[in-house]
Structure 1
Amino acid sequence: MKNRDIMEALDAESPDRDGWPCFGAAGEGVQPRGIPVSWAPGQGISELPEGTGYRIAKDDWMIVQVHYNLTEEALAGTEDKTKFNVRWADSVEREGHFFLPDDLLNSLASPDPIELAPGEPSVEFSFDFEPGNFLKYVGAESGQLLGVLPHMHQYGRKQRVELVEGDAGPQCVADVQRWDFNWQLYYFYEQPIPLTLDSKLRITCDYDTRGAKDPVLPGWGTSNEMCLAGVFIVPDL
């Protein structure tokens, strides 16, 4: 089935309201081509660096995923009045691509998801993301990292993102020392960071789980956790 057919079938399952459940991406069975932009509490307007943009074809569908509070009884029966605006351009100098690497969240798809130990003032999780794989895919020998979006939930304490090139020491890309869920930004650089085919981004999250009695599982709810660093990459083509 085509994406359009799948989405229309998903929407038809709830004729009393618009939309459909779309955990993770655009809905079960839908194969999205990419992620045009991400937003988190505190971010405000997301302005891409000058001269860059994200390609959207005239026949593309844009699916907006909204995370709702389903546990607050006072919100029951309220309507969603969310609106969003998109700035269009016929062309831009350089095409950018967004990625949302999160190996903690990805472990949900495994038989043994990663758990964060409860009752600890500091629990770390770290993994590597290799942007060189994308550069090879599009036929580029190099690229640039133009921005990063650190993201965790309520147990988040610190996050750092480091660029690792071969045997050289790690280079700081982002360092959040006092995580605040209500103050999340997409940090775009005045000077882009060069990437090679061998570049690695090492993402390390630190959690304070003293408020948890049971192991903290990864997930999209704020009582679960994520270790995500959204990245905006422009290949040198």
Structure 2
Amino acid sequence: MTGRPSRAPLYRTIQSEIQRDILSGRLKPGDWLPSESQLRAQYGVSQTSVRRAFQELQRLGLVERFHGRGSIVASNEIRAMSPMLGLGRELRQRGFAIRPELLGNAEEPAATAVAEALDLEPGDTVSHIERRYWIGDDPFVFLDHYLAPQPGIDFAEFTGDSLYAFLSGRDAQPTHARERVSAVTLSAAEADRLQVAPGVAAMLRERTSFGADQRPVEFTRYILRGDRYHLDIDLRSER
């Protein structure tokens, strides 16, 4: 963190520098951040500006704040059990009016990471479906689906709305999935798809779905705008 002057709002300067250090890995999960008094002295700003910076970082899920103790870098891994829903259905249940857009649908050789997720060999043929969801005039999330070949299913017939409904109609609905959620910064190509600036924070969800025979059938990467999406997790005491 440099403390250099900027034309941006004072709190945004502090937020951006801490955010960059977190997303670059310079600050690790569990690291304590400088105190409010230290940041006030470093940047020559008011307590209000420092607190606003921490509030924004907390809203993005990048820090955890502890009253009377300070703030630490939050873990970028979340593990939770929840009903298995397609993203479109999940977003609609959250109250979003979404509009799906089909960007591409073609067969291609599986890259190494895709092959590992689908228990295939690198270079094996997979179907790659690219989609984007809009909310109003803004793109909200784009999705890369990679699907293992399945007898009797022509993925070229998929038109872009609900992939799980498409699979269910062909008796191929996945029965369970494993998902990882992490914070990322957007590349230029990813930012262009979401119509935001390169390098801003986003949420990456990677899901591997399995059929009744326990074999992986789908690997999907969802990249969601960090300023428009958050996770709500209800916790209950076991007592």
- TM-score w.r.t. structure 1 length? 0.24
Structure with a larger share of its residues in helix: 2
> Highest relative contact order (Cα 8 Å, sep 6+), 1 or 2?
1
